[in-house]
Structure 1
Amino acid sequence: MLSTVRCAIPLLLSTIFLLMGVGLLHTLVALRGEALGFSVAMIGTLSAAYYAGFLIGTYTVPRMVHRIGQIRAFAFCTTLLVVSVLVQAIGPIYGLWLAMRVLQGLLLVGLYVIIESWLNAAAEPRHRSTLFSIYMMLNLGAGALAQQFLRLPGEGFVLFSVVAILFATASLPVIDMRQQQPRLHAMPKVQLARFFRLVPTAIVSACVAGLLLGALWGLLPVYAAAQGMDAGAVGTYVSAAVIGGMALQLPLGRLADRIDRRLALAAISAAAAMIALAQLLLPVGGSTAALVLIFAFGGMGFALYPIAMAHLVDYLDRDELMSASSTVLLVNGVGSALGPLIAGNLMNRGEPRLLFAWFFALSALLAAYALYRFMRRRRDVSAQDHFVPLVNITAESLDRRAPDRER
């Protein structure tokens, strides 16, 4: 495991700087947009534009990577990111910002695809969930740490410049890498239907993770405020979810490396469902119990995506890793965009506590589906273990008995 992490250190260093820039940029766009007089609807449209670019990038960037290679594509995307951020800094025009947010979404999903497919190529199967858990810990930690840059003195131009510096620095460890970059013999492309037939649990889990975490990021502060928490308590409550995600990533990732990943997904989702139900039935405001519950729920929720990704990659060839990353990011991105919309309507029609009803329903459904897939797989393997004598074998019968690769 240590050798695997050692080989991935340059990628992980780039991840830290990249995600610090991303975390600061998301907050900065909202704050500066408000200061410039953009309405709430206009700021929401900027977020939608980012996700639109995110979805477009899952189709377009892998083609560029196939043409010029991972390292050059990484440098290309980070350079354009720096340009887009500086354009926002010097041109506070809404239409220009809208275009830059589309471009940023497109470029960032390309960088995520490069990082995640490269990590998958570097990791041995028995360590894959653990390595992705470390990646997610850095993801969450970098996003939380980046918020401290908001304390810097100066107007928006200073903070946009800090974001640009972070993005530029993110390219340096990858450009200096001595490790051989993965070779791509086939053109990477989104293959949703094929991967769903092959490993349905991974695709469903990635979608549910997006639906769940998109709502958590967007609406958990609204729920906390409705429970009577002041601004400081809301920040502490949301931070508890993020810290839970960081703290439990590694132990849950190691668990998923030691047992069937479907069973791990079922157990983690079931635990998340029980925690959400407890929060739904026993609203406890900003008490210690509320912090403990959201800490545990964040730990379970943030573990779903890396385990789903590791489960998919278990059944793929190396040439398919970038296609797999693009497909999973597409599914997760769609879920992240839809989750807040659906949960927000539930909260508007009922009460803020229905956010945890949404979390409970998603987690329980995923637990049931993952357990069903686990039991079905065990039954299929058990059936294959029985010896069936074949008296008269023809080429046609052999073809009919070709093993099904579905997982």
Structure 2
Amino acid sequence: MTELVTLADVRDAADALAGIVRRTPLEPSRDPVLDGVHLKCENLQRAGSFKIRGAYMRVSGLSDEERRHGVVAASAGNHAQGVALAASTLGIRSTVFMPEAAPLPKVAATKGYGADVILGGLTVDDALESAHRFADETGATLIHPFDHRDIVAGQGTIALEILDQLPETATIVTSVGGGGLIAGIAAAAKQLKPGIRIVGVQAEGAAAYPTSLAAGRPVKLDKMHTIADGIAVGRPGDVPFAHVASLVDEIVTVTEEDISRALLSLLERNKLVVEPAGATAYAALLNYSVAYDEPCVAVLSGGNIDPLLLMRLIEHGLGASGRFMRASLRCADRPGALATVLRLVGRYGGNIVDVYHQRSDPRLSVGEVSVDLSIETRGSEHATEIVAALRDAGYFVSVEGPSI
């Protein structure tokens, strides 16, 4: 049976991390829908995420002999940066295995912190297998991203900060991948305040915990697909799983659309740049997936996001919230027909940002053209109004994204 991390373990970790990690801000949400919710901004932590807490705690505990052989880690990016920064701070050589599709800014940052980076495999689990082999071959110590008591204790220092910053906190909601973060938060928070509610959030396309909890043991997913690469973990860790099964009140899931909307809200309302994995807790609150007592704290676990992905996610978030849509329709291939369509959209207040006019589609009848429109709107109701106006005018309209 796995021994759970104690409050004393977490307090020891806090002492070890003093002067190494930042005490990140706890800010009230500026979204009126989430009155009573506060944001723990680990996206503003050193190396851009909470991972430095557990990584430094684990690496700093190595013996002199272990330090001489160096450390190895596997990560999609945040743990990689945490280990690289922790190792360089302590003067230890580090090697990090990352999936081939790891975001370039995370790869560059990991190298910038001094690690040797090796790309390979499709997932974090693939990278972890490579890291295990490397450790066996070289004698380097594997710094697991979540499956170690020191990692859990380090992440638990977030709960100490939250309950010091807002002692009346009634609910903490946080993202879940392998489980190290929520395990540490639950271990500390439940011992300090037994009645507090702890809720974990996973991406719908990478949700290993619901199945594992139902089975009573960690179960590996057959496949995963999510924009939240930082929590795309196929199998819960044994150590975190024991904590989650014993201490966590609920695990919920969110969709890709939920995450996109959350990222957009965090940018617009709260002026915070957060990566998809870091926004899942906020997403669950925003879409009412979680029943919570106030005050509630959502942990924004990281902010390391590729700018190109951010651009796509903003567009996706606008679409998910009804403020951007792509509409396709057919009209007569004659002078003025396209102008009539555009005037109709303009009359109803739609801002057309792109038009694609197609004559050669074999599905079209002779004398027809297809028109694809990218339209900015004021929200779902406005988008519905524009589509209804086009349909009332006799056009067959299909809309990409949420049904209208």
**Structure with the bigger percentage of helix:** 1
**Which of the pair has the greater relative contact order for Cα pairs under 8 Å at 6+ separation?**
1
TM-score by length of 1: 0.24
TM-score when scaled to structure 2?
0.24
* Greater strand fraction, Structure 1 or Structure 2: 2
